[in-house]
Structures are given as C-alpha cells and as structure tokens.
Amino acid sequence: MGIGAGSSNKNQILKIQSSLGHHWVWIVFFPRAAIKDDAKKPKKAKEKAEKEKKKRLKRLDKEATAFEAARKKRVEEAMEFQKRQNHTR
C-alpha cells in the first residue's frame, strides 16, 4: 500500500493506493484550520521574532557579564602587580 501526499492551493490532497495496485482513492481535505493559521501567521512571526530577540539579548548579556568579570579580574591583577612593584623598590 503506497501513500503519497501533496499540497495544492491550500487543499491538502492525500493519495492512497490500495493493495490491489490499480485502484486509486483520492481524499481531498479543505482544512479550515489552514485558513485560520494564515490569519495567525503575522502574530506568530512577531512572537517568534520577540522570542529570538529575547534569546539574543540574554546571550549578549551573558557574554557582557563574562567579559566584564574578566576585565575586572585583569584590573585587580594589574593593581596587585603594581603594589608588588612598589614594595620591591
């Protein structure tokens, strides 16, 4: 039994071949859900963009925090080094 699925103009066409091999059955769906989805697409796209933006900002914030911590550590090490240099003179 072979099954092939195709899409034409928002109508989902499902082609099912029976076990006889020469007998075809066509089932055509006109899904109202697909029409409703089209109405939601701009909203979904906007929500997805917002989600991506939040993820990106979170990642950038994490990177900035790590960078800041590393910078602070380098500054402290430099200060320590400077103190040791002053004591040896």
DSSP structural state of residue 39: H
Q: Which pLDDT score, from 0 to 100, does residue 2 have? A: 47
41-56: pLDDT as tens digits: 777 888 888 999 999 9
- Cα-based distances in Å from 25 to 9, 18, 79: 20, 7, 82
pTM as predicted: 0.38
Number of other CB atoms surrounding residue 13 within 10 Å: 14
Q: Amino acid letter at 33?
A: A
- Any residues with CB less than 8 A from the CB of 28 and at least 6 apart, and which? 11, 12, 13, 14
Q: Which pLDDT score, from 0 to 100, does residue 45 have? A: 81
3-50: pLDDT as tens digits: 554 444 445 555 555 455 555 555 565 556 555 655 667 778 888 889
- pLDDT at residue 58 greater than cutoff 60: yes
